[in-house]
Amino acid sequence: MTTLNKILIGVVIVLAAGLIWEFYHTKNLENKLAIGEQNKAALMDTVRTMKTKNGELESAKLALAGSVNDLKKMSEDLAAELKKEKGKVRIITKTEIVYQSKPDSSSAIVTVHDSVGSIRTDLDDSCRVFRGHTSFILSKGIIKNPSFVVEKDEFNLHLITGLRERDKQLEIFVRSSCPNVSIQDIQGAVINPNDPLLKPKKSLITWRDAVVLSGGLALGFFLGRQ
């Protein structure tokens, strides 16, 4: 093999390596751009509430994405919650919900016997069961020494939450079958910046492109030498 051939082969190898490096560099750049766009939209987003086909209320908000250090800059609340966890966390969410009972779901019954009275309070709806009573002494029309006792107070809240892709963006959704529950705030983040969920669907340069171009250069060189 002549010195010229060795030089040309070296050139082909360098060009092939350059194409492969360009592939990885482009993929990394596209991934960073996708994460940047996701975070910009998420920081500007607010909780959106809508009704599903089944008549349930569903709230959603775009999720943040990035490394642990990135999360510290974007959301102190999520970063603080993440610090409490052990092990590798891929997705973290924080949801603030408010329950408000309906006025017609509660009842109160007052009974008085020999100056000793009682007010019984009951609340029963699809999300909460409450039982309690207040005992007191009635003296000359004045209530004295009231004492409240809670017999039962149970919440039955079913929350469905998850991460999904909608309109090429990742969002956290929370759904509840309880009509008395409202979602006040949603925060969420995908911690791993290399997560497949964050990678662009199409790349400017694919792995196949890099291999085909590299192989084409090599084949063209050897055919040209014959």
Whether 27 and 134 share a structural domain: no
Record the tokens describing residue 188, joined without a space: 């969420």
Domain span at residue 13 reads: 3-100+158-225
Distance CA 171, CA 195 (A): 15
Contact 68, 83 (CB under 8 A): no
What dihedral do alpha carbons 50, 52, 58, 62 form, nearest 10°? -70
- pLDDT tens for the chain, 226 residues long, are 566 555 555 555 655 555 555 555 555 666 777 788 889 999 999 999 988 888 788 999 999 988 888 888 899 899 998 888 887 888 899 999 888 877 666 676 777 666 788 888 887 777 888 888 888 888 877 888 888 888 888 888 788 899 998 888 889 999 987 878 888 899 999 887 565 555 555 544 454 555 555 555 554 544 455 5
Whether 85 and 171 share a structural domain: yes
Whether 11 and 50 share a structural domain: yes
Whether 111 and 65 share a structural domain: no
Whether 168 and 221 share a structural domain: yes
Residue type, 196: P
Residue type, 89: V
Record the tokens describing residue 129, joined without a space: 């069961």
Q: What is the pTM (predicted TM-score) of this model?
A: 0.64
Whether 43 and 148 share a structural domain: no
Distance CA 33, CA 151 (A): 57
Measured at the alpha carbon of residue 113, what is the angle toward residues 108 and 118, in degrees to the nearest 5?
30
